[in-house]
Chains A and B, each alone.
Chain A
Amino acid sequence: MSGDPKLERIAKGNALALCATGTWTASFAPVLERMVADAEQLAGSRPNIFIDVSEVSKLDTFGAWLIERLRRSLTQGKVEAQIAGLSANYSSLVDEVRRVKAAPVIEADAVTIAGMLEQIGRSVAGVSGTLTSLVDMLGAVLAASGHVLIHPRSFRLTSTVHHLEQVCWRAVPIIVLITFLIGCIISQQGIFHFRKFGADIFVVDMLGVLVLREIGVLLVAIMVAGRSGSAYTAELGSMKMREEIDALRTMGFDPIEVLILPRMLALVIALPILAFLGAMAALYGGGLVAWLYGGVDPEAFLLRLRDAISIDHFIVGLVKAPVMAAVIGIVACVEGLAVQGSAESLGQHTTSSVVKGIFFVIVMDGVFAIFFASIGM
C-alpha cells in the first residue's frame, strides 16, 4: 500500500474522482506539489469533482495541506469540493489544516537606487548621533568618576584589578611580540634604503622618533581596540541582551559606575604601560636588526639613539596613550550598550566598536600631531 504517491483521475459518470494513493509526506513534497498543480487545472471541467484519500497510506501536515490546497482550488463558487474516504486517524489533521487561512504573499524588499541613497543619507545623518552618544558617555563616565571621588568606598577595586589583568597583563606577550617584529621591519627597511646614500646610521634616528613618538603608541592602541575594545562591547552587549544591565539598575546601582568605570580605568592605566613596553620591544628589535643586518654594533646604536632623540619624543608618545585609551573605552561601551536583542546586532556592534575605535584613535593621533607641532615639541 505504501510507496510513491499518486493522484489518479477516475471518471464516475458525471463526477470525477481524484484518487490519492501512497505516501503523502514531506519527503515527497516536490512531487506532490507538481501533481496537485496539474490537478488544479481540472477545476471547473466537471460539475462534481471530489478527492478520494481512502488509499493514502501515510499522511503528514505537508500532504494534508496539499490535499486541502487542491480542495480549495477545485471549489467552484458555492459548491465545495469534498474529501472522501478520510480515515479517523487523519481526519483531525485535515480539520486542523482546513482552519489555516491562505498565506499572505510576503515580498522581499527590492534593492532600488532610491533605497541605497536613503541608506547613505541615513548613515550620514547618523554620524551626529554617534558623536552625541560618545559625548554623552564621556559625561556619564566623568560624572560617575566624580561620584566615586567623593565616595571612595563605592569604587570597585576588585573589578578594576580584574579588568587590568585582562587588558594589560594578558596582552603583554602579543603586544611585545608584534611591536618587536615591527621594530625589526622598520630597521631593516631603513638600512636597506639608507645604505644607498651611505647613511646607515640614520636608521637609528628614524627608528627612535618613529617608535617613541608615533608608531609605538598608535600600533598598541589599534591592537588594544581590536583586543579589548571588542571584548568590552561583546561583554556589555550580551549583558544588555540578558537584561543584566536592567537588573543592576533596578537594584539601585548605576551601570556606568559598576560596569563601565572599572573597565575605562583599567584601559587608561593599561595603554601607557603597554605603549611603553611596546616601544622598548620595538627599539630592541630594531637595534638587533641594525646590529645583525646593518652592522651597527649595540654601543654605536645606543650612542646614536641618545643623540637623536630627546625625552620630548618619549613624553609626546606617552601623553597620547591615556587619551587614546579613553576614546577606545568610550566607543566600546557606547556600542556595547547599543546592542539590541539579536546575536546579529551583537556582531554588528562589536565590529563597529573596533572600526570606530581605530578610526578615532587615528583621528586623535592627527589632532595630537598638530597640537605638538604648534607648541614646538
Chain B
Amino acid sequence: MAQDIQARIQNPIIRVRDVTVQFGATRVLDGLDLDVRRGEILGFVGPSGAGKSVLTRTIIGLVPKVGGRIEVFGVDLDAADAAERRGVERRWGVLFQQGALFSSLTVRQNIQFPMREYLDLSQRLMDEITMAKLAMVGLKPEVTERYPSELSGGMIKRVALARALALDPELVFLDEPTSGLDPIGAGDFDELVRTLQRTLGLTVFMVTHDLDSLYTACDRIAVLGNGKIIAAGSIADMQASQHPWLRQYFHGKRARAVMS
C-alpha cells in the first residue's frame, strides 16, 4: 500500500513544471509547479482572477505558455506530434465553466459527438451508452432530444459532464462545476463526482470556489496565489497553514459554517 502511494507520487498523471504564462505585460502564472496524482480528486482554489482557469486552459493546450513543461500521462505535450496529442486528448474530458454544449445539437448528439469522431460504434450501442452516461450523471432519459437552450443551468452542467465522460476518460478537468447551482444541486454534483471517481477510477482536476466541494469531494487541495502554488495538501494541512489568504479562506465565516 505504501509502495503504491509512493508510485503514484512519483508518476503523477499531470506534471506541471516551471510554467509561465503571460498576457501582454501581465504575468499570470510565474514558474508554477504542480502534480496531480493518479486516482485523486484535486481541488484547485485561489482568489478570483488568480489564474486558475488559465492554468487549466494551459494544461489542456488552449492558452500558450511562455516557458515551462507540461506532461500529461507521461507525454510532454510540447514535444508530442499530432497523433500523440490526439491520443492524449482522447483520454481526458473537459467540463467548461459554461458547459460549452454545442447549441445546435441535441443532448443525445452532444454526448455522442466524441464517440462518433473517435470510435466506430453502432448507433444502437451509442444510444445505449448515452442512456448509461445520462443515468450516471443523474438525468432522466426524457432530456435526450432537447436542445441546450431548453435546459436549466444544472442540467447543462450535468449534460456537459456526461459529454466529458463520453469516451470513458482517465482524467477530467472540471472548471467550477458547482458554480451557479443551488446548494442541494451542488452537493449532489460533489457526490456525483465522488461516485464517478470511484466507479470509473477517474482522476479529477477541479477548479472550484465552493468550500463544500473542498470538504466533501476533494482528496487534496492546491492553492494558487501570485502565479505560484502557495500550498498543496489535505484539508487539514490547509487549515493548519499560516498563510494569510489561506487563514482567511479556511477560517472565515463561511468556512466555519461549512465545518460546523
Contact = CB atoms under 8 A, between A and B. Distances in A.
Interface of A: 25-27, 29-30, 33, 60-62, 65-66, 69, 89, 92-93, 96-97, 99-104, 106, 340-345
Contacts, number: 83
Nearest to A89: B201
A69 B128 contact: yes
Interface stretch (B6-14, B142-150, B227-235, B243-251): B142-150
A61 B200 CA distance: 8
Contacts of B147: 341-342
Interface string B59-93: 00000000000000000000000000000000000
Contacts of A345: 104
| Closest 10 pairs between A and B when the two form their complex, measured CB to CB | A341-B149, A344-B104, A342-B103, A60-B168, A103-B127, A92-B199, A100-B132, A93-B199, A103-B131, A103-B128
Contact of B198 (A92, A104, A106): A92
B149 A26 contact: no
B129 interface: yes
Interface residues of B, number: 35
A101 B131 contact: yes
If over half of A's interface residues share one DSSP class (helix, strand or loop), that class is named, otherwise mixed; here it is helix
Contacts of B201: 89
Contacts of B199: 92-93, 96
A204 B121 CA distance: 68
A30 B135 contact: no
Contacts of B103: 341-344
B200 A29 contact: no
Interface of B: 102-104, 108, 115, 119-122, 124-125, 127-133, 135-136, 141, 144-145, 147-150, 165, 167-168, 195, 198-201
Given A61-B168, A92-B195, 11 more contacts: A27-B119, A30-B122, A61-B136, A62-B168, A96-B132, A99-B135, A103-B124, A104-B141, A106-B108, A106-B144, A342-B147
Contacts of A89: 201
A63 B70 CA distance: 32
Contacts of B124: 103
A89 B148 CA distance: 34
A280 to B, nearest CB: 43
A4 to B, nearest CB: 16
Given A341-B148, A342-B149, A343-B103, A96 B127 contact: no
A96 B136 contact: yes
A106 B109 CA distance: 12
Contacts of A101: 131, 135, 141
A341 to B, nearest CB: 2
Nearest to A63: B168
A26 B141 CA distance: 22
Contact of B132 (A30, A61, A92, A341): A61
B149 A29 contact: no
Nearest to A346: B103
Contacts of A26: 115, 119, 167-168
A104 B144 CA distance: 10
15 contacts: A26-B115, A26-B119, A27-B119, A62-B129, A65-B128, A92-B195, A96-B135, A103-B127, A103-B130, A104-B141, A341-B103, A342-B103, A343-B102, A343-B103, A343-B104
A342 B133 contact: no
Given A25-B168, A61-B129, A342 B135 contact: no
Contacts of A25: 168
Contacts of A104: 141
A26 B116 CA distance: 12
